[in-house]
Structure 1
Amino acid sequence: MIKKYNIKIFFTFLIINLIISAKIYSQNNFSENFIIITPGKQYKAGWLHKLFFGKHWRDVWATPVKVKILNLNTFAGGLTPIKKGGGFQTKSLRFKGNDGNIWKFRSINKDPSKILPEDLRNSLVDDIIQDQISSSNPYAALVAVPIISAVSILQSKPYLVYLPDDPKLGKFRKDFGGLLGMIEIHPDYDKKEGRTFEGAEKIKSTFKLFHRLENKRDEKYDAKEYLKARLIDILLGDWDRHTDQWKWARFKENGQKLWKPIPRDRDQVFAKWDGIGPTIAEYIIPQFVDFDSTYPQIEDLTWSGRFIDRRILPAIDRQQWDSISVFVKSKITDKVIEDAVKHLPPEIYPLIHKELTRKLKKRRDKLVEVSQKYFKRVNKYLDIYASNKKDYAEVTRLNNELTEVSLFKRINKKNGEKGKIFYNRTFENQYTNEIRLHLLDGDDKAVVQGIVNESPLVLIVGGKGKDELIDSSIVYYESAGLAHPIPDVETKFYDSGKRSKFIKGKGTEINTAKFPEPKTDIEKYEPSQRDRGHNWVVYPILGFNTNDGLLIGGGPLLYKYSFRKIPYDYRVLFTTTYAARPINFNFNLNATFNSIFDWAQVNIKLQSLKLTLNQFYGFGNGTVFNNGLYRNDFYNIEQELFTLNPSIKIPFGKSVVAMFGIEYRNSHYEINNLSLFSNFPFENYGLEHQKRINIKAGIEFDLRDILSNAKHGYYLKLNGEIGPEILDNKYTFGKASIDVRSYFTLKVPTNTTFALRAGGEKVWGKFPFFESAFLGGGNNLLGYLRNRFAGNASIYGQAESKIYLTPLKFIIRGKFGIHLFANSGRVFAENEDSKKWHSSYGGGIWMSFLDRTFNIIFTTAYSKEKIIYYFSTAFSI
């Protein structure tokens, strides 16, 4: 009996200890100086989970390893915690060592919830993203160290340790006691304490170094060392190399002050992105690249480091680049790779050493080849930075193959203004599309010279100060049949300074518009707005409505980005949409250009439509609807419509846009029941094959807080259109429409948004039936079929209330509520005396996520004719 009682006590004590020890990690077995620990048992998964969310490095995370316990009393002569780190995913803690160094501890496991929007935290999405930490290899940094050392790049050597739950951690004990992580020297410089790193004169973070070198002509980035480091990033598949992943150390070499890179935080080395979900994520976020024997697209792999690349790498010409590439490859021998992989924990080495060794060797063999692609990417759009002092810049178009850029200190002397040179490089035109020279602040002078037939576009960007920008160059545009060549615009000056002076050449463009200055270092050095290159995605279409049934389709969406073209230079979308009920297709090409005019946006639409007008119910406000006839396709129309619609939008401030456009229409309609045209005043005008041109204009005032789910604001849209007697258009007609909306939110008793809308349309003259003022459908009268009523004029009113009920935790956090609406409207027709108003009412539920940017709305609408269900991602008002 006593033995049984003691056994119960023993197991109770054991279970309690296991629960406590499992707070952070799954399994902790202590010895005197070591602990056996499983860093991520929660990432272990079955085959189905792996199929959808990736196999990743789950087996590595779920394997127990023997790790040394960090002794805070003896390591580095004794460690004292001083500061919690500011990482978004990694927990980090800095210690002051009695050896004079600052040491940084970083947790192996990560918590990505802090980088998520509030609505995504503590949700299923949060859990999925946490699960994807298994895509990273927890011990990759240990393998990276000897490979980096092989090319003599500065670095801090990490040590895999277990940080014990020690009272010496003080106020940091709760967050850091019992964590597995790596500890390394934090590169630092403190003159008072005599602390430095590898003998460096100074240590700086990336942003501070950017600031410093904008004011120090005599200090340089060590571009060659940085390229070596980036080639190692590429070899290791380390895609996460943003500005905070680097420190910089200054040394004197041959009388020159050079800043050398110190790469750090190797969390994404050997990252795996397999599985259905992660593969889709790779497509959406291309820099999520998978570590394999072959390289991914170089743009994706180097994307996170692009801002540093643009600052530093343009200093290296092709010969130097190729030489460095060959050097790095030669240093990463088979022995270096094999020895590096042996730095894995002994328990992990048998699991993955063959895979890592094989992949690293194959990537090493192709490093020079991929480095050439990297060179082409970096040199396609070049950024060159002068200083905040007085500079003299000279761009010389040497010939059709070469362009030289030189930067000098600007001086005021009789024999010239060029002082000491501090930058010079000759670029090969075959690799370079644009050279962007940023003069920064100071009273600068820039001269562009040379006469050639081919040249990169040269952009000179002035800053604060009295600048002088001169273009004496000529780039000929040669064309057969012309007696004289036409100068091409290949030089652009950007300077809003009132005291700046310009001397134009034959191919110069001057832009004096004031561009908003960045408010933070992030905006200045890591802007979110793209300004070069292309990007394309697949644009999906999926929907349902009563008229068309299931709608499915999509197509490619291409973006082109250029300097100071916001949000893009141009955008081209091509889509195909299939509708199941009429069994037909729409084809749509929509192109938007922001670079043709600086003051306006140009849009071109090209459409082949068979779905916009598939039913006609007669003309007039009193037409009768019969469900049986509708089901038997009595009201159906066969539509073939081709349209070409170029237009221009002119913004006036942020809230007002004016639009002008011309539309060419080539249409043909067929109907089986001509009796539906009995009340149409112009017989069956519009059914025949018809070519016509319409001229359009409009103005839009938009003061809503969010377009798809507004809580406050106003909206007004006025449109006018005229169809002149041109081509097959027999008569001139005109149209005008108005749409007014208002939104306000009250707490009655919960947050309720009230939306009011009124609108109408009027048609004058003799017009084809398809230009009638239509009413019905989700656009203006819910509860009735699309284009249910047709007349010379229409009027409608809508009122809707959106009532918030409760927070929502379904996949992601959001808001849940109900909505109620009432609609009423009518059309007017010649020779019809109808006073009838067509009303409808209804409601439904809504869910809103990500601060109202993504919405799901289910609506049921009731009218005398039908009950119609709607599903949409935007409210009708």
Structure 2
Amino acid sequence: MKIFSETPLKLSKIAVVLSLTSLVGLVSCATLEPQYGTKSGAFSQERNSDQKIVHTYYLVGNLSQANSTEEQEHLEAFKHMLSQESDKNSTLVLLGNNTKKGMPGTSSKKRKKAEDGLASHLGLLESNKGTTVFINGESDWQGSYEGIKNLDKYLVERTGNKKALLPRKVCGLERLKVNDETVLIVIDSQWYIENWDNHPNINEDCDIKTREDFFEEVRGEINKNQNKVVVLAMYHPVYSNGNHGGKFSVQDHLFPLGGSVPLPVIGSIYNYTRQMSGINPQDLQSKKYNELNKRIRTIAQMYTNVVIASGHEHNLQYIDRGGVKQIISGAMSNLTPARAVVDGDFSAGVFGYSKLEIREDKSAKLSFYGYQDGGYTALYSTVMLDNFGGGKENRDIDNKELEQQTAQASVYPKQWTEKSKFYRFLWGEHYRNVYGTPITASVADLTTLKGGLTPTISGGGNQSMSLRLVDKEGKEYVMRGVRKSVSRFAQTAVFKDHYVMNAFDNTWTERFIYDFYTTSHPYTPFILDGLADKIGMYHTNPELYYVPKQSVLGRFNDNYGDELYMIEERPSSGYEDEVSFGNVSNIISTTDVIAKLRKDEKYEVDQTAYMRARIFDMLIGDWDRHGDQWRWSEFAEGDKVIYRPVPRDRDQAFAKIDGALLSLIKKLPPLRHMQNYTEDFANPRWINKTAFPLDQYLLKGTSLEDWLREAKDVVEKLDDEALDEAFSKLPQEVLTKEVEEIKRIFKARRSKIDAFLPKYYKQLREYVILSGTDKKEMFDIERLAEGNVRVKQYRAKKTGEELVFDKVYNATETKEIWVYGLNDEDTFKVSGDEKAKIKIRLIGGKNQDTFLVDNASKVIVYDYADKKNEVKMEGSNGRTILTNKYDINNFNYERVPLNLNMLLPNIGFNPEDGVKLGFLYSSTRSKFIQDPYTAKHVLKGFYSFNTKGLEAEYKGYFPNATNDWMFTIGGRATSPNFAVNYYGLGNETYYFDKEKGKDYKRVRIESYSVSPGYRYEGKQGASFEANLEYDALKVKHQTDRYITDDVNGVDAKVFDFQQYGGLKVEYNYEQYNYPANPTVGFGFNSKLGWRMNLEETKQNFAYLDLKASFLHYIDRGERLVLATNFTYQTRFNDNYDFYHAATIGGNANLRGFRPERFTGKTSFVQTTDLRFNAGQFTAGFLPMSYGFYGGFDYGRVWQPGESSTKWHNSYGAGLWISAVEQATLHCSFFNSVDGGRFVFGLGFGF
């Protein structure tokens, strides 16, 4: 059979596509010559030039490959320039690729060569009169984690500077203080991109242990320094107009492999496939890199004082896009082309460097210099930050409200709280009326309040906008709006990789979230300090004020003022005289406490104090108690350091989450912890979901008796009198029936706390998680009678072993005990001949550990595969799992067991099945294996109203602890009424729908299938799966259908019950820059299988299904996208029935034809769209982008014995809308010779 040879039409269409691809490559070329964006010249007019330069950054990268004569001459010229220009107020930043393949150890034969390669770098240090900072790049990490440590040690020895290589300790992030005007924040971006499973020791000396914590720390560091120019130095840029960003030169297109053999067209295909696929992990489009740059970009867009400086590309670039200012300065070797794409872009593929000058007014001037004829020529300059403010300037605001003692104000305008009866039925009453009620509040003049307060930086949590204030003695306060922020919630909690600040303004979504905020009482946080005093709990002292806009707020007047605010102490240093903090000089965060607990056993948390605070949380129904909502007062007591909790941010106390629909929605797993405040306690695991990890970590030594004892005391002290006294402090205007209801519920919960705590204690003890410190320890685990287990933890010291923990766990309460040794050399002993009932998991951690297990029953040992650990196990049923998987070996207190079950309605529609109504059930089990889970079950079912058919599908996933493989099992069943289309075999079958109706071609098939297998999930978007397959089918015999017609080409045996067995391997790869509405992307799927009839074994066949999708923008603004998809199917012999044949038609390929319109042995379809992004609009519901697209499809099937040369085509157009780039809905009409079809759905499909 000659496929693609029957007519020139096929080749011509393919040629058109290839030519178009080549044309795109040629017309969007990068060059080595300097390029300037459409709105930029070489030099922008400098403003504020009379301001003193307070610091200068010199930025260069890619020194490790500077070998040629010209490169060495340039390096010498750069050294000379530094010796002439630099001073003590300058910083030289080497932006990565400092070594060719990392730094070998001192015993390696390659060590001297690596040191010689660094000689030029050290020469730069001698020339630079200021500070020099090295950061890691791609080539530095080629020597692995140990290579980075070797480089760090070498640079410290040679320079005497412990901060020569940043971040230190091979961590992800570090801040370098420069002066009052600027700060350098260094990110090791290659650390983020690396597969951590390949580096067993990674993060061992770092506070940041997860990538999500890394992003939070980046945001926190930038926020702390919002009054300075922040230079964010990282090897990988977040934007690039060079090769790694998908921009190529004519040379790249003609000679993609280098050398002298031109490969036109092929070169373009190669380059654009590289860009679209992201298969090179060093390209912006690759999975981890794309993940990193989207998050960093989004964080940078939240501030106006951030400049990102990077290397990576071997050229000079400046890109200002969406408020993100990106410098690329990697032009020290192996020059590569780049291009200026839009507006103020600049690029040059010449040897050179960039210089960033910071002035007194915090403006920043960027200059690029190119090397030529032994010296430097200025290529480009621009003022990047033109006095962004810094937060110090005052504004002359004459606000008469400051002259008043009090003011009348409400949290919301009255009209915001006026809702219809139906709305209130669906969404609840909440505390809506309280938000719309004006109250009398004291007016705060910040110049006199608490002796005078000055604003420093803005910030807040996931919902609130806050402003940090400082008094004349240096004490810090926080001014937090009573009205919460929708924009902040959307940005920090939901759309973390997409900038949406203010995008929801004046939308229904904004109004709905504002309304949801009324589920919490706005004023109860002001009365909780009184209750805290009664039980001896530390607390902040929030005060309610009306804060008018005023001169002292300066630039913060834009976002603060003329509202009600909570002003309270910020738990930090300087509060030695504050009784409510314990009169201590040091108050630290939860993250810092956990680091202390890991460091040494002398650090302890007062478990009783924390337990009492948690009992109080449960009494007031505060379901939002994650780690950042605690601060810790530090007490030195003998040779111990004790930390006692200071709770803060109690916004969710007494939450009123009512309403018929809202009550259903909050049953979804992401919202299930949001519990309504009622007299009956909710499920203990859910109301305590956010606090559970910290509870389990800090309260591991407590007993149920401890909980009940403290609860008894708390309840006695929070009597009715204490309750009335506290609530009397609420504004008089809101002392309504809601308050009396809260008090009634509190009293009921108070009486039931003794019955509730054993339920929560049971949850805490079901899976026990114990951890040591980063020092040597011995864990003595003994099997006791009745299956109980005793765990003793000893600190191994030179003077002997010191007992630091001792507890017995009851087999009736505990299923598993996880024991983490953490760092250093630890010893684990398991003894006792009693029958094992509790499973014990021993996780050694870093360094070499010893496991001495006398009773191995139900014992699993985990440790690194490349560590020389000693494992001695006696007895049966024990296991040793040696793996370098990061998630298995590293302790994270937030990694706790959790089961998530979700049942959702599932509605669909297509012209064949009509409306389909069904369900989607998922169950995710996260026990010890949590990357991504321990087990996942997905079950979905549909009923089709057109065909009256039922279908159900199941898929189970069971990850492996040692690698990236998982066991899978799938199943599918359809009822006898389930239908597919069959028009006969061949490429020119007759379309008889108009004559005989739509049912005539429908074939009803009852089927059952089971498919176990193994699946590999790669880190860069690839997956591979191998399955065994079993299928059972029965085609229904219907006399009024085409399937029973004598001319249909179907063997009569298809109406008998058929069983098939087979094998299938499937490879899938996809990467899109924005999955919902991509402008660049690539997808590839291949299935190779073999299927055999189990009753007639001669009926067997092999098959191959291929699908490839390509997307790429074809304009500078990335608004016009060309998307195309190729689908190919073939069966390698003729021993198959019609339902296993290759088919075309339907939404996925020939969109103007019905599904399964043509059936044959082999099929091919190309589907192409041209998609245009017309713009954005606010639809009143969500911020939307919208556009139009036109499409053209062509394809055919090949069937033995048929001599058809016909190609089928369909064409059409449609429109699409995308909500916040998270979901895209499209609707179109496609026409063909059979007629037209409407096509719509979520996502484009390719």
TM-score by length of 2: 0.63
Q: State which of 417, 420, 425 in structure 2 corresponds to 1:44.
A: 417
Matched, 1:459 2:841: yes
Q: Contact (CA 8 Å) 1:53, 1:276: kept in 2 or not?
A: yes
Structure 1 residue aligned with 2:904: 539
- Residue 121 (structure 1) aligned to one of 479, 483, 504: 504
SS at match of 1:440: coil
Q: Is the 8 A contact 1:429 1:455 kept in 2?
A: yes
With over 3 angstroms needed to count, the CA separation of the structure-2 counterparts of 1:497 and 1:246, relative to structure 1, is farther
Alignment of 1:185-224 (within 5 A): 185-190=569-574, 197-200=581-584, 202-224=586-608
1-structure distance, mates of 2:933, 2:996 = 45
> Residues 239-286 of structure 1: CA distance to partner in whole angstroms, max 9, x if unpaired?
111112111112355874321111111211112112345334412311
Do the aligned partners of 1:464 and 1:497 also contact (CA within 8 Å) in 2?
Answer: no
CA gap of 1:850–1:513, structure 2 versus 1, over 3 A, is farther
What does residue range 280-295 of structure 1 map to in structure 2 within 5 Å? 280-284=664-668, 285-295=671-681
Contact 2:1028–2:1061 under 8 Å retained in 1: yes
After TM superposition, the structure 1 = structure 2 runs for residues 169-248 of structure 1, keeping only pairs within 5 Å, are 169-170=553-554, 172-173=556-557, 175-190=559-574, 197-200=581-584, 202-248=586-632
- Alpha carbons of structure 1 residues 655 and 160: separation in structure 2 relative to 1, 3 Å: closer
Q: Percent identity?
A: 21
Contact 1:682 1:766 in 2 (8 A): no
Flag the 1:806–1:277 CA change in 2: closer, same or farther, 3 A.
farther
Question: Which of 556, 559, 563 is residue 921 of structure 2 equivalent to?
Answer: 556
What is the deviation of 1:55? 1.4
1:711 alignment partner, one of 1063, 1079, 1091: 1079
Residue 771, structure 1, aligned to residue 1144, structure 2: no
Give the corresponding residue for 2:663: 279
Q: Is the 8 A contact 1:101 1:195 kept in 2?
A: no
Structure 1 segments unaligned to the other structure (5+ residues): 1-27, 476-488
The residue aligned with 1:138 is 522
Instruction: Report the equivalent of 2:442.
Output: 68
- Supply the distance in 2 between the matched residues of 1:71 and 1:400 (Cα, whole angstroms): 68
Q: What is the alpha-carbon distance in structure 2 between the residues aligned to residue 421 and residue 228 of structure 1?
A: 26
Q: 1:575 to 1:619 in 2, by over 3 A?
A: same
Contact 1:455–1:490 (8 Å) recurs in 2: no
- CA distance 1:800–1:214, change in 2 (3 Å): same
Match in the other structure for 1:691: 1059
Structure 2 counterparts to residues 583-598 of structure 1, below 5 A: 583-595=948-960, 598=963
More displaced stretch, 292-301 vs 706-715: 706-715
SS in 2 for 1:273: coil
Q: Structure 1 pair 80/663, CA: closer, same or farther in 2 (3 Å)?
A: closer
CA offsets per residue over residues 46-72 of structure 1, 9 Å max, x none? 234433433111111122222223355
| Worse-matched range after superposition: 225-234 or 309-318 | 309-318
Paired letter, 1:121: F
Aligned to 2:1198: 828
SS at match of 2:1173: strand
Residues 1:680 and 1:177: Cα distance change in structure 2 (over 3 Å):
closer
Query: 1:664 aligned to 2:1030?
Result: yes
Q: CA deviation at 1:206?
A: 1.0
Match of residue 90 from structure 1: 464
Is 2:743 the counterpart of 1:384?
Answer: no
Any conservation in 1 of the 2:402–2:548 contact (CA below 8 Å)?
Answer: no
TM-score using structure 1 length: 0.88
Deviations along 1:22-67, one digit per CA (max 9) or x if unpaired, are: xxxxxx9999522222232344212344334331111111222222
Superimposed CA distance per residue, residues 745-769 of structure 1 (whole angstroms, 9 cap, x where no aligned partner):
2217752222222222222132222
How far is the alpha carbon of 1:847 from its aligned partner?
A: 1.6
Q: Provide the rounded CA distance (Å) in 2 between the counterparts of 1:600 and 1:93.
A: 48
Which residue does the alignment assign to 1:638?
Answer: 1004
Q: Deviations over 1:567-618 (max 9, x none)?
A: 2222212222011111221122222222488442222222221476433211
SS at 1:374 equivalent: helix
Name the structure 2 match of 1:511: 881
Report which of the two has the higher share of strand: 1
Output the amino acid matched with 1:583: K
In 1, Cα distance between equivalents of 2:1187 and 2:1033: 44
2:599 is paired with a residue whose SS is coil
Structure 2 portions without partners, runs of 5+? 1-399
Q: Is the aligned partner of 1:802 residue 2:1171?
A: yes
Written as runs of structure 1 = structure 2, the 5 A alignment for 1:19-58 is 32-42=404-414, 43-47=416-420, 48-58=422-432
Equivalent residue in structure 2 for 1:474, among 856, 860, 864: 856
Distance 1:525 1:493 in 2: 15
Give the alignment of 1:669-748 within 5 angstroms: 669=1035, 670-673=1037-1040, 676=1043, 678-679=1046-1047, 683-705=1051-1073, 709-727=1077-1095, 731-747=1099-1115
Partners of 1:103 and 1:363 in 2: CA distance: 34
Change (3 A) 1:89 1:575: closer
CA distance 1:578–1:166, shift in 2 (3 Å):
same
SS in 2 for 1:778: coil
> What CA RMSD, in Å, does the superposition of the two structures yield over aligned residues?
3.0
Please show how residues 353-502 of structure 1 align to structure 2 within 5 Å. 353-411=739-797, 419-475=801-857, 489-496=858-865, 498-502=867-871
Provide closer, same or farther for how the CA distance between residues 264 and 707 of structure 1 changes in structure 2, counting only shifts above 3 A: closer
> Once structures 1 and 2 are overlaid, which stretch shifts more, 276-285 or 821-830?
276-285
Counterpart in 2 of 1:751? 1119
Q: Between 328-337 and 236-245, report the one with greater CA deviation.
A: 328-337
Give me the whole-angstrom Cα distance separating, in 2, the residues matched to 1:818 and 1:511. Answer: 54
8 Å contact kept, 1:680–1:769: no
- 1:302 aligns with 688
Distance 1:73 1:191, change over 3 A: closer
Rounded Cα–Cα distance in structure 2 between residues aligned with 1:679 and 1:470: 75
| Matches of 1:137 and 1:653, distance apart in 2 | 45
Q: Does 1:573 align with 2:956?
A: no
Partner SS state of residue 905, structure 2: strand
What per-residue deviation string (whole Å, max 9, x for no partner) do you get for residues 295-351 of structure 1?
222222111222321320212122222322333233322222233222222221134
Q: How far did residue 209 of structure 1 move?
A: 1.2
1:350 aligns with 2:719: no
Map of 1:270 onto structure 2: 654
Instruction: Give, in angstroms, the shift of residue 858 of structure 1.
Output: 0.9
CA shift at 1:537, angstroms?
0.9
In structure 1, give the amino acid aligned to 2:605.
Y
Q: Say if 2:417 and 2:515, in contact at 8 Å, map to a contact too.
A: no
Q: Deviations over 1:810-858 (max 9, x none)?
A: 222232111222111112222222111111111211122343x411111
Q: Helix, strand or coil: the match of 1:625?
A: coil
Q: 1:839 to 1:92 in 2, by over 3 A?
A: closer
Separation in 1, partners of 2:664, 2:958: 29
The amino acid of 2:534's aligned partner reads: A
Structure 1 Cα separation of the partners of residues 1111 and 562 of structure 2? 53
**Alpha-carbon contact 1:144-1:236 (below 8 Å) kept:** no
Q: Closer, same or farther in 2 for the Cα pair 1:756/1:126, shift >3 Å?
A: same
**1:202, distance to aligned residue in structure 2 (A):** 2.8
Secondary structure in structure 1 of the residue aligned to 2:690: helix
Most deviating of 455-464 and 494-503: 494-503
* Structure 2 counterpart SS, 1:643: strand
Cα offset, 1:493, TM superposition: 1.6
- Determine the C-alpha separation between the residues in 2 that align with 1:541 and 1:674: 31
The answer to whether the Cα contact below 8 Å between 1:29 and 1:37 also exists between their aligned partners in 2 is no
3-state SS of paired residue (2:786): coil
1:707, distance to aligned residue in structure 2 (A): 5.2
Aligned to 1:323: 709
